[in-house]
A = this chain, B = another copy of it.
């Protein structure tokens, strides 16, 4: 029985496992601090440093994504499939935008030229606006 960690040549560690499991259950794009609080419920001795170290390792191994929504705090996402994010400028929460940007559009963005001067490896789009709940409040 090969674990998801072994597949990435990572040792098993209870702390890392709990972090990964928590991230897989949520779509709220938690910050390191929030992850720490949650995992602490099951592993009271865990330290914030450990959380940061594991998040870094999981990101490096492409098991999770790190989002920089521009408010100074990194957020994490275990959903590594192609999707985009909306930062609600009212409540500060980050939402998944289910609908993909059409392949044709992505293609268009990539080849949008840049005169072949640079080598574009990828891009990230961050959307800003109001989430459904906040929209309804006004």
Contacts and interface: CB of A to CB of B under 8 A. Distances in A.
A118 interface: yes
* Number of chain copies forming the complex: 2
B128 A123 contact: yes
Interface residues of A, number: 37
A120 B125 contact: no
Interface stretch (A11-19, A22-30, A41-49, A108-116): A108-116
A117 interface: yes
A129 B125 contact: no
Interface in A101-134: 101-102, 105, 108-109, 112-115, 117-132
Q: Could you say which of A99, A112, A135 has the most chain B C-beta atoms within 10 Å of its C-beta?
A: A112
A89 interface: yes
